[in-house]
Structure 1
Amino acid sequence: MQVIIFDNPQQVAENAAQWVEKLINKKSGAVLGLATGSTPISLYKQLVAKHQADELSFANTTSFNLDEYLGIDENNAQSYRHFMNENLFDHVDIDKSKTFVPTCNQGENPREQGLAYEEKIKQAGGIDLQILGIGANGHIGFNEPTSSLASRTRIKTLTQQTLNDNSRLFAADEFQPTLAMTMGIATILDARYVLLMATGENKASAVKSMITGPLSAVCPASALQLHENAIVLLDKAAASELEDQEYYLWANEQNLKINQEFGLYHNY
Structure 2
Amino acid sequence: MIAATKFFRVDDLWVQVYNSEAEMAQDVAQIAQEYLQNILERQQTAAVLLATGNSQLKFLDALIALGGIDWSQVILFHLDEYLGITADHAASFRCYMREKVEKRVSPQQFHYIEGDALQPVAECDRYTKLLQAQPIDLCCLGVGENGHLAFNDPEVANFQDPYSVKLVKLDTANRQQQVNTGHFPNLDSVPQYAFTVTLPLICSAKKILCLAPEKRKSQVVKEILQGSISTKYPASILRQQSQATLFLDTNSASLL
Pick aligned residue for 2:89 from 69, 73, 76: 76
Q: Residues 213 and 172 of structure 1: is their aligned pair in 2 closer, same or farther, counting only changes over 3 Å?
A: closer
Pick aligned residue for 2:175 from 154, 163, 172: 163
Q: Which residue of 2 aligns with 1:43?
A: 59
Q: Which residue of 2 aligns with 1:227?
A: 241
Which one-letter code corresponds to 2:103 in the other structure? D
Identity among equivalent pairs (%):
26
SS in 1 for 2:76: strand
Bigger shift: residues 164-173 or 140-149: 164-173
Normalised by the length of structure 1, the TM-score is 0.83
Q: After superposition, what is the alpha-carbon deviation per residue over 1:145-177, rounded to whole angstroms, capped at 9, x for unaligned?
A: 131112231011111111111113223598321
Q: After superposition, what is the alpha-carbon deviation per residue over 1:187-225, rounded to whole angstroms, capped at 9, x for unaligned?
A: 111111111001111101111222221110110001111
User: Structure 2: how far apart are the matches of 1:93 and 1:14?
Assistant: 21
Pick aligned residue for 1:26 from 38, 55, 61: 38
Q: Which residue of 2 aligns with 1:90?
A: 103
Q: Which residue of 1 aligns with 2:8?
A: none
RMSD (Å) for aligned C-alpha atoms: 1.7
Correspondence 1:39-188 to 2 at 5 A: 39-51=55-67, 55-95=68-108, 98-110=109-121, 112-123=122-133, 125-146=134-155, 147-151=157-161, 152-167=164-179, 168-171=182-185, 175-188=189-202
Q: Hey, which bits of structure 1, 4+ residues long, moved more than 3 A?
A: 171-175
Alpha-carbon offset, residue 23 of structure 1? 2.1
Q: Residues 21 and 106 of structure 1: is their aligned pair in 2 closer, same or farther, counting only changes over 3 Å?
A: closer
Q: Is the 8 A contact 2:209 2:247 kept in 1?
A: yes
Q: Is the 8 A contact 2:51 2:141 kept in 1?
A: yes
Alpha-carbon offset, residue 103 of structure 1? 2.5
Structure 1 gaps of 5+ residues are: 243-268
SS in 2 for 1:233: strand
User: Structure 2: how far apart are the matches of 1:188 and 1:173?
Assistant: 28
Alignment partner of 1:237 is 2:219: no
Alignment partner of 1:11 is 2:23: yes
| More strand as a share of residues | 2
Q: Is the 8 A contact 1:66 1:101 kept in 2?
A: no
Which one-letter code corresponds to 2:116 in the other structure? N
Structure 2 gaps of 5+ residues are: 1-12
